[in-house]
């Protein structure tokens, strides 16, 4: 790994960051969206000291000597938290295990930060020891500013698990924990607990008969052992039967939608009782924005990738393309429109997850904004959508000092040029992003992407 140059550079950046947040700054006169569903504070002010919010409200006294920043005409919302991506394999000109390095993980996290995401959790596809090391290094301030990296290990039966593209990449790095008995499962979870792992993912899916399926014996053992150690279990399940089974077994987080059938009363009653978190992962593979030449999405993608997406006319799952909708698109949309509000009404707790990076050609960070818009289209209010992208994922991940704009929380926020409560698409009108009270260098990233583009 070419780490030495990167590390030398990052030490300079880290110390600048520390100097910048040691002061007190008052951000004045903006619309403040708290992130907890409450009404926004109009013409509000908040004070940040050492990266933490120390006061917030309409009538607050600004400490003497504080630097003052105007938020006139702006709306501020908490930075987002994405609980489901697959980081490290995408390199835009190629995709796979050969690209996996701390440098590439950092690149993806910077892309997430660019789009206003303060925390990014990679699920089931990150190598354990490298990822633990990355977390230590990031915590120690060895890297330039980026979204905070979290990861959870993944479990599957031998030769099961992720779709074939991700499976090939994760196999090369021996990432998936393959277990076939309850005993193996329990032993592996115990090992994870000693390493400080807080959650795991299980794949309970046979990919329409193409893969071996995780047995109830194994997932019951994983869930029971994980809970014994205070760990959560995220379950990949895409059919009604499988979702019923894993929710019934006590999985804490559902990943994916039931796409091919309408939910029934038995499942809705179970959801009412269990109230799992639910990472919907609706939008991956929706390339409309690139097809429509939207600069918000295009700015982070190399020209060659954009050209490739536009030239791809065949619709295949997860592959970005600009062709006509697939034959079953309307049916799937109708099922989604039926299932989504019923899941929410039954008590499934929506959290932001996008699956970005699971397949070539997607960009980190922008899909979050599409996911929010889809939720609103399917019936959430913009305020509920923002809560599902901020406060609730912070709660799920146990990040007590994140997720809302409130006293004692880290100053991780997005400054917007327009109000997303009026139109959720306004989350895309990003003026600036702050992490730990320090402005993230978005312009520098755009310049770097442009330069990389010119090199091809
Ligand atoms: Zn995934």
CA-to-CA separations, 144 to 103, 139, 340, 411, in angstroms, rounded:
11, 11, 39, 17
CA of 25 relative to ligand 1 center, distance in Å: 39
Neighbours of ion ligand 1 (CB under 5 A): 355
CA of 105 relative to ligand 1 center, distance in Å: 16
CA of 173 relative to ligand 1 center, distance in Å: 17
CA of 357 relative to ligand 1 center, distance in Å: 9
At 191-222, the pLDDT tens digits run 999 999 999 999 998 888 888 899 999 999 99
The burial of 118, by beta-carbon neighbours within 10 Å (0-12 exposed, 13-18 middle, 19 or more buried), is given as: buried
CA of 281 relative to ligand 1 center, distance in Å: 8
CA of 258 relative to ligand 1 center, distance in Å: 15
Q: Residue 27 contacts by C-beta under 8 Å, 6 or more apart in sequence? A: 45, 46, 47, 48, 69, 70, 71, 76
CA of 124 relative to ligand 1 center, distance in Å: 8
Q: Please give the Cα distance from 243 to 204 (Å, whole number).
A: 9
CA of 298 relative to ligand 1 center, distance in Å: 23
Question: Taken in order 267, 375, 110, 144, is the CA torsion positive or negative?
Answer: negative
CA of 35 relative to ligand 1 center, distance in Å: 25
Structure-token pair, residue 24: 């007190």
Report the SS3 class of residue 147: coil
CA of 200 relative to ligand 1 center, distance in Å: 12
CA of 161 relative to ligand 1 center, distance in Å: 10
CA of 154 relative to ligand 1 center, distance in Å: 10
CA of 49 relative to ligand 1 center, distance in Å: 37
CA of 152 relative to ligand 1 center, distance in Å: 11
Q: Please give the Cα distance from 88 to 105 (Å, whole number).
A: 5
Q: What is the full per-residue pLDDT of the chain (456 aa) written as tens digits?
A: 344 444 444 444 444 444 444 589 999 999 999 999 999 999 999 999 999 999 999 989 999 999 999 999 999 999 999 999 999 999 988 999 999 999 999 999 999 999 999 999 999 999 999 999 999 999 999 999 999 999 999 999 998 888 888 999 999 999 999 999 999 999 999 999 999 999 999 999 888 888 889 999 999 999 999 999 999 999 999 999 999 999 999 999 999 999 889 999 999 999 999 999 999 999 875 667 888 889 999 999 989 889 988 898 887 777 888 888 888 889 999 999 999 999 999 999 999 999 999 988 888 999 999 999 999 999 999 999 999 999 999 999 999 999 999 999 999 999 999 999 999 999 999 999 999 999 999 999 999 999 888 876
Note the pLDDT of residue 15: 41
CA of 279 relative to ligand 1 center, distance in Å: 10
Structure-token pair, residue 315: 């619709």
CA of 95 relative to ligand 1 center, distance in Å: 16
CA of 81 relative to ligand 1 center, distance in Å: 15
CA of 12 relative to ligand 1 center, distance in Å: 35
Q: How many degrees, rounded to 5, is the angle at CA 138 between CA 133 and CA 142?
A: 105
CA of 230 relative to ligand 1 center, distance in Å: 22
Report the SS3 class of residue 374: helix
Note the pLDDT of residue 7: 45
CA of 421 relative to ligand 1 center, distance in Å: 29
């Amino acid at each position: 790994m070419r780490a030495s140059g990167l590390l030398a550079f990052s030490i300079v950046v880290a110390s600048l960051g520390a100097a910048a947040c040691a002061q007190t700054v008052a951000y004045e006169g903006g619309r403040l969206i708290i992130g907890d569903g409450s009404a926004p504070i109009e013409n509000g002010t908040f004070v940040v000291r050492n990266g933490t919010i120390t006061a917030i409200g309409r009538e607050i006294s600004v400490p003497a000597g504080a630097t003052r920043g105007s938020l006139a005409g702006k709306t501020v919302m908490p930075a987002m938290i994405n609980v489901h991506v697959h980081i490290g394999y995408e390199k835009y000109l190629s995709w796979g295990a050969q690209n996996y390095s701390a440098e590439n993980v950092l690149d993806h996290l910077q892309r997430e930060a660019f789009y206003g995401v303060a925390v990014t959790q990679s699920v089931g596809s990150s190598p354990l020891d490298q990822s633990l090391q990355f977390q230590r290094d990031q915590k120690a301030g060895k890297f330039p500013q980026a979204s905070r990296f979290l990861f959870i290990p993944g479990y599957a039966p031998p030769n099961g698990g992720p779709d074939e593209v991700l499976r090939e990449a994760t196999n090369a790095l021996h990432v998936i924990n393959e277990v076939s008995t309850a005993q193996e499962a329990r032993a592996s979870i115990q090992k994870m607990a000693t390493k400080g792992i807080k959650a795991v993912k299980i794949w309970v899916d046979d990919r329409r008969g193409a893969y071996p399926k995780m047995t109830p014996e194994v997932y019951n053992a994983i869930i029971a052992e994980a809970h014994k150690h205070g760990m959560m279990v995220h379950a990949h399940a895409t059919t009604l039967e499988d979702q019923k089974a894993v929710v019934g077994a006590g999985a804490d987080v559902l990943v994916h939608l039931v796409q091919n059938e309408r939910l029934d009363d038995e499942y809705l009653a179970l959801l009412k009782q269990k109230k799992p978190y639910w990472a919907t992962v609706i939008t991956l593979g929706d390339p409309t924005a690139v097809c429509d030449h939207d600069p918000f999405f295009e700015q982070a993608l190399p020209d060659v990738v954009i050209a490739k997406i536009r030239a791809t006319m065949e619709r295949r799952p997860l592959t970005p393309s600009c062709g006509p909708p697939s034959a079953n698109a309307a049916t799937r949309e109708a099922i989604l429109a039926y299932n989504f509000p019923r899941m929410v009404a039954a008590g499934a707790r929506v959290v932001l997850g996008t699956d970005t990076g699971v397949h070539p050609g997607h960009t980190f960070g922008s899909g979050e904004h599409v996911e929010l818009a889809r939720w609103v289209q399917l019936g959430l209010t913009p305020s509920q959508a923002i809560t599902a992208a901020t406060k609730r994922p912070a709660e799920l991940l146990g990040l007590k000092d994140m997720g809302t704009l409130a006293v004692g929380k880290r100053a991780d926020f997005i400054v917007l040029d327009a109000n997303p409560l009026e139109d959720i698409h306004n989350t895309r009108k990003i003026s600036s992003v702050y992490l730990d009270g320090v402005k993230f260098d978005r312009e520098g990233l755009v310049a770097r992407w442009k330069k990389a583009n010119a090199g091809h």
